[in-house]
Amino acid sequence: MYANELGRESPDEILSAGALLRFYVEAGADECIGDMPVDRTEAPPARPSMAAPAAPATRPAAQNPPQRLPPGSAANAPPPLRQLASPALLSAQAAETAASRAARACDDVAQLKSAVAAFEGCALKATATNTVFARGNPAAPLMLIGEAPGRDEDAQGFPFVGQSGQLLDRMLAAIGRDEQNAYISNVIFWRPPGNRDPSPEEIIACRPFVERHIALVRPRVIGLVGRHAAATLLGTSQGITKLRGKWLVYTRDGLEIPALPMLHPAYLLRQPGLKREAWRDMLSLALKLEELGA
């Protein structure tokens, strides 16, 4: 009787298997895998107790065929999708899709504010104190859209309330505007840690809400305060110092709204010599609003 018929390998077979193994190692194979993928995130199934006896079969398998359930029954339903463990695991595309779906379901600004507060697709929310949505009058003809909340905005839950916001209020007052006839928001609703610039993924996650915000408010004129606001809503890569002062058009959802890129007040605090250009932009805003009868 041959050795392999007794469950043992012959010497030639052992040598052949060893040579094959050495070939795999030299080729770079350093682990063994199975034919089916293994989900390492799932807990392993509990091992059955050795003391538990197997249930005796009452009938032979051939006499007890499995019953077929109707297609709509719960037993035939696909297993539920597992929820993502944290917002950071959402890809930018998935976050944008979820935000678009939530934004489209909103019929007014109050609903949109609630939808933004409930949104879990932007990782910034996990480190922020408050959701910073807007301040001012949503029925106003002028809408100013900035970049992202800072420390004071995060603490109070309103945009442009810190030092740069106070400067913005003085700039608006100089052309006869305040919270009664202006509306102020951002392209990001949560403070980036350390006041860093928002990442492209964070902007993508928030953008559907910003676009829906504009569609619901329908301002006559938009002021885009800072380079991130201009880049996000105008789709341009030009710097704000080249864009500022030039009237462009925001086009989305059937709307065509005059939009003016402007220097951010925080930038003006660091570069006070540019306040002359900022004043020209404010005068241009006032003139456009006057032309539109707003």
Q: How does residue 77 score in pLDDT terms, banded at 50, 70 and 90?
A: very low
pTM higher than the cut 0.75 = no
Among 10-24, 36-50, 221-235, 278-292, the range scoring the smallest mean pLDDT is: 36-50
The better pLDDT of the pair 13, 100 is held by 100
Alpha-carbon gap, residue 281 to 277, rounded angstroms? 6
Query: Which residues have C-beta within 8 Å of that of residue 13, sequence separation ≥ 6?
Result: 4
Residue 233 has pLDDT above 70, yes or no: yes
Q: Is 137 exposed, middle or buried (0-12, 13-18, 19+ CB in 10 A)?
A: middle
DSSP bridge partners of 261? 224
pLDDT score for 207: 97
pLDDT score for 225: 97
Percent of the chain at pLDDT above 90? Answer: 67
Dump pLDDT digits (tens) for 199-224.
999 999 999 999 999 999 999 999 99
pLDDT score for 91: 80
Q: Which CATH class is domain 87-291?
A: alpha beta
Dump pLDDT digits (tens) for 15-72.
566 666 665 556 555 555 555 555 545 555 555 444 444 554 555 444 455 455 444 4
Site of tokens 């005796």: 56
**Number of Cβ within a 10 Å radius of residue 57:** 9
Domain-wise residue ranges, the chain: 87-291
Q: How does residue 84 score in pLDDT terms, banded at 50, 70 and 90?
A: very low
